[in-house]
Amino acid sequence: MSWLRALKETARSGLTLERQRLEPLVALRGALGLALVVAGALSLFGSVVAVSAAFGAFQAAIATYQRSWRPRPVLALASGASLAVSTFISYLTAFHLVFFVAMLALWTFLAGLAWALGPTVGIIATSNVAIMLVTVTLPTSVAAAAGHAAVIAAGGVVQAALVVLLPVRRWGAQRDALADALAAEADYARRLRHDPTAPFDPAPLMQARRAAAVTPRQARRRPAELHGMRGVAERIRPVLAALADPAVGVPAEGPERDRVHELLTAAASVLTEAARAVRHNKPLRLPPSAVAALKTPDTAAVLTGPARRAARRLAALLDDVTETARGAGTTEGPHRDRPPLIRLVPGSLRILREELHRDSPVLRHACRVSAVTAVGYIVGTALPLGHGYWAPMTCVMVMRPDFSQTYARSVARFGGTLIGVGAATAVVQGAGPGTYLSGGLAVLCAFCVFLVLSTGYIASSVFISAYVVLLLGMGGEDWNQTVRERVLLTLAGGVLAMIAYAVYPAWETPRLRHRLADWLHANGDYAAAVVDHYADPAGRAGGDIRQALLDARDARIAWRESVKRAEHEPVRNRGLSRDAAERAGEAISQLGRGALLMEAHLPDSDAAPVPAAADLAEALRRDTERAAAAVRERRVPQWDAVHEALDHWDRESAPDTVLHTGAGLVAEALDDLTEALEPEDEGVRGGAGPRTRDR
């Protein structure tokens, strides 16, 4: 993609508003906390201290909106405390430009490196640096700085207390995650009626799994419908695939296929209603037609073999879903543990150390954002526009570890600032509102920020810019700065951010092959773990299968996100064209499909072992490991060991129909991957010997 087209696409993305479900009660609670903090600080300490307290309460409220499964009060407290510490430490160096710029660069570097710990930590740390640039200008002495830090932390305490005292949709994030997983499976069941081999995006299931991790105290208070249903939903997905897929299910046409359509329709209806009941905490109401379709006695007469087994398992699993949705679950028993923050410190430090290498995109982002913020502060201070922190504040707010977000946010920030600053400055300079009216208008803007935060960055930028202007106006600051000056400084910060990414980029496109190799290796391990269970049904392969499946899902999600980030980058394909990436991804998906169908019909522990399956499992592990290395090195993968293992199979050594069919699908998918990655010049090969295709 050319630079011109990339700029056009990212600009369009930055100016796009998304239709999202608004949560006015949550926004109102955040605005109420801000209003209490502003009113209390105004009455006790005056307008300047009130500005610091307001920024603390504002940032704490923003933290509670992040996609994190931590309790919201914890996020508010952590955000308020970190902003207080940042402001106080930075003020100690504010007396000298060189010292402050060095401190700013170090603090921004650490904030950029925090993205390695996840987007929630990265956003909170980055926002703290941006707000620190404003709050550090308010105190006049070390003692005053300590007081400002205290009221900033108090703002976080107030927001945390309101979350506890005024709960809105208690367990709402966990309910949404589980409901999204159930709704995704309902949509999958509907798509299987028209496409029996339709793909499935595991991201909602993985989100629900992360949301299910709770502390022991939370486990005792968790609603019954949130306990146990996720595990059942996980087991439904392979059963749906096995029921619909003609390879191990029923013919593409005929009465058996008609019955499968009825069962899939019924399953979709049940899962949709279960998702609605979980999301809105309402009674479950099942359509009578869906219940009748699942309970009809002639299903056993119409369906035979693997399809009959899948239908029985589906009905039993849906019964478990409905019972749990009606409150028949239990809050006792094992649960996924969520450790407290203090226990995460050693692991977090280890993750940060692992990012300290030249090819790390997070390290590149940290270096880039720290350098640009320092330069932006110097430029803003040198320009005769006053209040030069608008430039570095823009740099920090718009820069992200990937290209598309940085450029899209730069455009959105400029457009939002133009509108928000223009309107707020017109109010301040035209109407001349007093301290309390300015504070009230700032609280109103904050409410709008909280309300539209999930709809797009340009919408929130409008109200954030207006909020900053009105709040500083309340404190007696920034009265004389014009719209032109503020917009010019914002434009300077955005341009610096865009130039920095072009000069010192962290392109995702060259890493596509590595992501593809990781996905291939993970899917190969998953397929091998499933085949291993056929070789030793009485063994302990179940846990290995589960972990391998989770690793494969994580690798698939990482691949999809990598492709999405690389889509708008103005760089060449570096050896993996878009068409090759699409075909290779489809082949690896089919590899997972073959393993999934075999997993749906795993033999019981007392079933007879299949010794030939052990050789295939070992061949899969060996070949996929070699193939992953070949993909990274731009060679074509080969599957000699897998084909050799399958060449010795016959109906006597591998009598299980599902195993035989699934292994054939796996081998076909591997050959499709070789074909997808094969260059036009066939002189480049990743393995010895010719490739066998007619299996």
The reported pLDDT for the residue numbered 1 is 67
What is the tens place of the pLDDT at every residue in 180-229? 999 999 999 999 999 998 989 999 999 999 888 887 777 778 887 787 78
Position 504 scores a pLDDT of: 92
Q: Which residue has the higher pLDDT, 327 or 130?
A: 130
Q: What is the DSSP letter of 531?
A: H
Tokens of 5: 């087209």
Most confident of 308-322, 619-633, 642-656, 670-684: 619-633
Residue in this structure with the two tokens 């006790």, named with its chain if needed? 44
CA geometry: angle at 160 spanning 159 and 163, to 5°? Answer: 90
- CA angle, 176 as apex, 10 and 449 as ends, to 5°? 50
> Residues of the chain with pLDDT > 70: what percent?
93
pLDDT reading at 543 higher than 70: no
Which of 108, 15, 127 is closest to 409 using CA atoms? 15
Virtual CA dihedral for 261, 264, 265, 270, nearest 10 degrees?
160
Instruction: Give the per-residue pLDDT at 692.
Output: 37
- Token code pair at residue 647: 């060449």
> Which runs of E-coded beta strand occur in 104-209?
none
Residues 416 and 458: beta-carbon distance below 8 Å: yes
* Residue 343 or residue 668, greater confidence: 668
Q: Shortest CA distance to 326 belongs to which of 388, 270, 399? A: 270
- CA 486 to chain centroid, in Å, comes to 34
What's the length of the chain? 695
CB-based contacts of 490, cutoff 8 Å, min separation 6: 390, 391, 394, 413, 414, 417, 418, 421, 465
pLDDT at 160 over 70: yes
Give dist(CA 467, CA 55) in Å, integer: 10
Asked whether the predicted pLDDT for residue 684 surpasses 70, the reply is: no
* Dist CA 35 CA 53 (whole Å): 10
Q: What residues form DSSP beta bridges with 214?
A: 337
* CA separation for the pair 598, 613 (Å, rounded): 12
Per-residue CA distances from 172 to 18, 21, 327, 425 (Å)? 21, 13, 17, 38
The Cα 59–Cα 76 span in angstroms is: 8
- 168 burial type by CB count under 10 A (0-12 exposed, 13-18 middle, 19+ buried): middle
Cα separation, 305 vs 312, whole angstroms: 11
Alpha carbon distance 638, 634 (integer Å): 13
Mean pLDDT of 402-427: 88
Residue 103 Ramachandran class (φ > 0 left, ψ -120 to 50 alpha, else beta): alpha
CA–CA dist 152, 488 (Å, integer):
29
Tokens of 645: 């293992």
- Section 591-620 average pLDDT: 88
pLDDT in the model for residue 96: 87
Q: What is the DSSP letter of 36?
A: H
User: Does an H or E element contain 504, and which?
Assistant: none
pLDDT of residue 552: 94
Question: Which pLDDT score is estimated for 652?
Answer: 62
**228 Cα distance to chain centroid:** 23
CA distance 571 to 1: 6
